[in-house]
Structure 1
Amino acid sequence: MDDVLGLDAVGQARAVRDGQISARELAEAAIARIEAHDGELNAVIHRRFERALAEIDAIPEDAPFRGVPILLKDLGWRQADEPYAAGSNVRDGVEPGLDGYGVVRLRQAGFVMLGRTNTPEFGSTITTEPVAFGPTRNPYDPAYSAGGSSGGSAAAVAAGMVALATASDGGGSIRVPASLCGLVGLKPTRGRVSAGPALGEGWSGFSCAGFVSRSVRDTAAALDVVSGMHPGDPYDAPPLPGPLAGELGREPGRLRVGFITRHPNGTVPESPELTEAVTGAAALLESLGHDVAPGGPEALAEPGFAGRFGAIVANNLAAHVASLGELRGKPVRMEELEPHNAAMLGAARGHSAADHILATQWMDAFRRRMAAWWSAGHDLLLMPSLGVAPFRLGWLPPDDLATAFRRTGHAVAYTSPINATGQPAISLPLHRTEAGLPVGVQLVAAAGREDLLIRVAAQVERARPFQHAAMR
């Protein structure tokens, strides 16, 4: 069974189709692995094993991923009549609404949904250590963070519990845990995956849904399953030339790539590990025939970005907390929230509606200034996926918010601007520290160019196959 569990999701689907293993046997093997290994990692917080097994017989034989186990992040990716907490004791309960469109499409594709994965409270930070459910540990070293906010999903995939898990990214929450857990994590173009029917957009358009996986082809195939606009969505992504899975064998051509090892705003401490990771990736891309040179968008250096980004996120958090109060019939009190969220809510109460609109308009102009670099002839920007080296659990102290917010700002300095622009970016596991901990690098393309990211990521994966944690 471990041989099949060690395959990626595309490989597992083929094994089921070819009769090497039944859909039920594959799901049961994944369940056994979760039960054996999740006690230490704490990645899976809601288990629906019996319901999942009962659903297998109803999966059509021709479903492309028939019988492949998957885990859903417990933030977004809503399932009607299933537990849903969003990492919080405030929100804990059964989801009363409809299935999310992405969940519907996963079910139609034949995936077997085994449960939900851990996430920080409301997904508002970069490590998965919620008070409600406890910390998720990194499979490479349990003293270290698996990242956030998709940390539970990343730990589960890295530990081989499942080959694929859902994720979402509002400031780096796919790319950060992918980096820390040695996985592939693609943040799609804004509007590529619908947030409906519960929402039109998340975090004023910063947040989008995706996956963490062990292979580029899994990321491509999974995004093909869930991509597409639904009636009533506020916007759509630029159309792709075809399915992303069809881009895997295509050569990307000779690309013009800029790279950054030191953040141009001058406030993020330089890390030797990150510098080594990016320069190594730059050398690899050059060896593959691309034109690679230092440099990136001048707009990344602008000092006004971080404050406005943080204000928009805080305002969205305030709206979410208000909606929770309406849902449960009484307002959420500050003391019910974790300290960092209470502080963000307090900050939001000092912002006017005009302040919020002005911040979003500034981001509109920032997006155009960023896009100019790609319009001038560049194809890809290479940067760290995470602005700091792998960190231990507790690195963001709940009793020292000044330190926690400063460190968080450094951590997302390379990811959050790409949430603001809505461009696609992919984190690839190309480096390890001396202690063996993964360090990812991210490639950023122009809006709508996931196809280019998949082509070059597949090229990189062929040239330097990704190494993953050994299945214990």
Structure 2
Amino acid sequence: MKKVHAFTDDALGDLDAVGIADAIAAREISAAEAVEAALARIDAVNPQLNAIAFDDRERARKRAVDSDFPAGSFVGVPSIIKNNTDFAGLPTCHGSAAVAPNPASANEAFTNQFLATGVNLVGASNMPAFGLTATTEYVDREPTRNPWDTDFSAGGSSGGSAALVAAGALPIAHANDGGGSIRIPAAACGLVGLKPSRGRTAPAKQTEDAPIDLVCNGIVSRSVRDTARFLDDSQGFRPGPGLPPVGLVEGPGEKRLRIALITEPITGQLLDSDTQRCVTDVAELVESLGHRTEMVPLPVDRVYIRQFIDYWSLLAFALDRTGKRLHDKGFDRKQLDSFTRGLSRNALRHFYRMPSSIRGLRRSTAAFRSLHEQFDVILSPTLAHLPPEIGYLDPGIDFGEAMDRLTRYVAFTPANNTSGTPAISLPLGQSKSGLPVGIQFSADLGDERTLLELAFELEAARPFARIQDA
């Protein structure tokens, strides 16, 4: 395996974000030492991983020296923002040459929510063009690679963030999720990835007014407590309107859960042998902890696949035709990649059925959430097969083939985006070759607490594999 990591005996050590913040607060290390260690680690691994979209180290250094941070859980902790979210002074290029690299004039809403945790942003992380695919690969530049094995995909669309956290360059990083884009790279890179309930965190600027807002902001991390602290801080800054409070979750819950086990992808294909083995093993683990599992089918018809692709294509069509309004006057649609153009053409070809597809997705929400009338949690693989090798999901291949491969890969994640329900990917398995295998747990709208309590319990029962030990 071609493994790349940056863990070393420096100011960051092998601490998670809470550990680093505690060390800074105790004056065992300074925020300046923390950011210098992070920058050295980034410089060590980024040539192999290609995870950085824009470097902003000088401003990060100044903030560290000035101690210019809000009083959150992660004061002075180095982190990064995904390059589809405005951070004043950095270009927001969405992974595409079609977007002019003009610096953002102001933060968008989620950026302020993230900064309220106290993080020190060192730049922006790579993502595929407009976050429309599940690998961080391009038609015009080098891909972002998986630190567990650089021949493989880091997932997408938050692939740059996941690669940096998995490699130990940063303890946490911003990610967002419109069809699995937090959970997919978390699964591929062996991380914790929570997609919150719709509205729990500030919406993404580009999609908040869409007919169905699929996108939720969050983070990828190496520990459950980092994700729990992030969620609690984010709610202190901006509570999710209409959602029950989560509060700070600090450990396992006492309630034994009724868990629905779903192992058949909506596409009908079989899981690969490693994924099947890992999900079966985790189902046995949760049973051994006193929870009750029951195998059930996904209560969503296969037509959901077409309806989701129709809607996904509509998002690309909007980019293609109104990019100057959505992004910047310097937007150049001639520079759009072939996959984005293929999605846009697909939307135009099937525009007549778009209203029925949107209605179908809304109906599927009721069907999917009906599982929670009987079950507290749904257990499934995060992905239908192991992370693919670089090139398998290349956005430059034939559009029909790319779409078919993508659909089969991400068969389990989109239902939580259309329904708005929370889901978390946990690194509870490994393939025989040593690649991470993510296991997904989802709950009903607003019930992140149950997911985090279960995640704490599983992390204690089966500590997550560490890249520096493998």
Output the TM-score relative to the length of structure 1.
0.92
Please give the per-residue CA displacement for 1:392-436, whole angstroms capped at 9, x wherever unaligned: 000124232222111100111111112111110100001111111
Deviation at 1:197, TM superposition (A): 5.6
**Native 8 Å contact 2:424 2:442 kept in 1:** yes
Match of 2:385 in 1: 388
**Native 8 Å contact 1:259 1:278 kept in 2:** no
Match of 1:427 in 2: 425
User: Is 2:50 aligned against 1:42?
Assistant: yes
SS of the equivalent of 2:358 reads: helix
2-structure distance, mates of 1:313, 1:168? 16
Match of 1:179 among 187, 202, 219: 187
Q: Unaligned 5+ residue runs, structure 2?
A: 1-8
Match of 1:8 among 16, 36, 56: 16
Among all aligned residue pairs of Structure 1 and Structure 2, give the percentage whose two residues are the same amino acid: 36
Match of 2:369 among 368, 371, 376: 371
Match of 2:287 in 1: 286
2-structure distance, mates of 1:328, 1:46? 18
**Native 8 Å contact 1:247 1:455 kept in 2:** yes
Match of 2:338 in 1: 339
Match of 1:271 in 2: 272
1-structure distance, mates of 2:210, 2:463? 34
The one-letter amino acid of 2:265's match is H
2-structure distance, mates of 1:61, 1:447? 30
2-structure distance, mates of 1:79, 1:330? 18
Match of 2:321 in 1: 322
**Native 8 Å contact 1:426 1:453 kept in 2:** yes
Deviation at 1:130, TM superposition (A): 2.1
Q: 1:261 to 1:68 in 2, by over 3 A?
A: same
**Which deviates further from its counterpart, 221-230 or 250-259?**
221-230
What RMSD, in angstroms, separates the aligned Cα atoms of the two structures?
2.2
The one-letter amino acid of 1:378's match is F
SS of the equivalent of 2:375 reads: coil
Please give the per-residue CA displacement for 1:299-318, whole angstroms capped at 9, x wherever unaligned: 2xx12101110111111122
2-structure distance, mates of 1:389, 1:109? 33
2-structure distance, mates of 1:229, 1:191? 13
Match of 1:125 in 2: 133
Match of 2:4 in 1: none
SS of the equivalent of 2:440 reads: strand
SS of the equivalent of 1:293 reads: strand
SS of the equivalent of 2:179 reads: coil
Please give the per-residue CA displacement for 1:273-299, whole angstroms capped at 9, x wherever unaligned: 111111011011001110112114422
Match of 1:467 in 2: 465
The one-letter amino acid of 1:257's match is I
Please give the per-residue CA displacement for 1:159-207, whole angstroms capped at 9, x wherever unaligned: 0010000101111111111111000001111111112666525683111
SS of the equivalent of 1:166 reads: strand
The one-letter amino acid of 1:277's match is C
Q: 1:348 to 1:254 in 2, by over 3 A?
A: same
**Native 8 Å contact 1:170 1:416 kept in 2:** yes
1-structure distance, mates of 2:163, 2:436? 12
Please give the per-residue CA displacement for 1:210-262, whole angstroms capped at 9, x wherever unaligned: 1110001111111223347969xxx835222x42xx32224241111121222
Q: Unaligned 5+ residue runs, structure 1?
A: none
Mapping for residues 219-368 of structure 1, pairs under 5 Å = 219-227=227-235, 236-240=241-245, 242-243=246-247, 246-263=248-265, 265-266=267-268, 268-299=269-300, 302-326=301-325, 328-329=328-329, 332-333=332-333, 335-352=334-351, 355-368=353-366
Q: 1:54 to 1:378 in 2, by over 3 A?
A: same
Match of 1:415 in 2: 413
SS of the equivalent of 1:374 reads: helix
Q: 1:330 to 1:182 in 2, by over 3 A?
A: closer
1-structure distance, mates of 2:75, 2:238? 24
The one-letter amino acid of 1:93's match is P
2-structure distance, mates of 1:220, 1:46? 28
Match of 1:161 among 169, 174, 177: 169
Q: 1:71 to 1:412 in 2, by over 3 A?
A: same
